[in-house]
Amino acid sequence: MARILVVTPNPAVDTTYRVAEQRVGESHRVLEVAQRPGGKGINVSRGLAALGHESVNILPLGGATGDWIAAQLEELGLAASITRIAGATRTCVAVTDPVAHPTVFNEPGPTVAPREWEALLADVRLRLADAAMLVVSGSLPPGADASLITALVVAARDAGVLSLLDVSGESLLAAAAAGADVVKPNAEELLAATGTTGLDAAITAAQALGARLVVVSRGAHGLVARDGDTRYSTPAVPGIHGNPTGAGDAATAGLAAALVDGADVAEALRWAAALGAAAVLRPVAGEVDLAAFHRFLSTQTPTTE
């Protein structure tokens, strides 16, 4: 099976504090602490691994936090190709309780020098020769230009490899304009990037820029997609409660795995919805309940318009 390359432009050490109840402006007794290698792309890679797909994490890492992430990826059995950078990799904190939506504090990340980005791009170009798909997921660190996203999409196209971009803002527009095979924003990200007021108009705008398949996650309202003039949708799995942090990344993993396996768009949306819901059942982002995924998959009914 050809491997999937997963680029995480802005990885992090993700720390999750579990408390009894979140109260703004008060001290909290932390009941449990969990740490894991984070960043959207790493979460995608873990979801792919759960589905039996081999991936290679391509990411810039620096400082003691970067060393810790590298060691953790090795311990998890996730292949990684690391571009060493001078800056220290960021730390992000999520605070969870049994009722409220998690409160998340995301550090901006280090400045990555142009020569460091060039080294990462060279690594991607080399590895595309035997890849099945290139996935780019997550934000760019401070000072990084959206031209990096353009270069990644062009490299995949030149190598004849599918590209799937789960990015936002200027990066989303750059991915679409570069002709990405798949862009997968959430509804808020797509509306903000395109400056439109309706989802159909936003999808049309992304396609007009050059994106082939536009997949939009809508949380509890499921996913919609458009490939050319054909529109697809699949509902969210009902009655799911838990930690939604990382559910979108799991959905990206499900979408990527299905497309690499040759599934059509409707089937790929089913995989995305089912794996996203299976991630909500786990306490920290990056994990999925595989038994629940298979159970949810059997109940998903996509539609084509």
> What token pair was written down for 277?
């819901």
Which of these, 256, 264, 209, 210, lies nearest to 232 by C-alpha position? 264
> In angstroms, how far is the first alpha carbon of the chain from the final one?
33
Domain ranges of the chain: 3-304
> What token pair was written down for 29?
């007794």
pLDDT at 2: 64
Which are the contacts of 23, defined by CB distance < 8 A and separation ≥ 6? Answer: none
Question: pTM score, two decimals?
Answer: 0.93
What gap in Å lies between CA 6 and CA 37, rounded to an integer? 14
Each residue of 263-305: pLDDT tens digit? 999 999 999 999 999 988 887 777 888 898 999 988 877 666 6
**3-304 maps to CATH 3.40.1190.20:** yes
- Give the position of tokens 């060691």: 71
The one catalytic residue in 249, 261, 264, 289 is 249
Average pLDDT over residues 161-172: 98
Q: Is 249 a catalytic residue?
A: yes
Which of these, 189, 192, 194, lies nearest to 177 by C-alpha position? 194
pLDDT at 45: 96
Each residue of 23-32: pLDDT tens digit? 999 999 999 9
Each residue of 57-109: pLDDT tens digit? 999 999 999 999 999 999 999 999 999 999 999 999 989 888 888 898 999 99
User: Do residues 3 and 130 touch, judged by C-beta distance below 8 A?
Assistant: yes
> What token pair was written down for 167?
């990015």
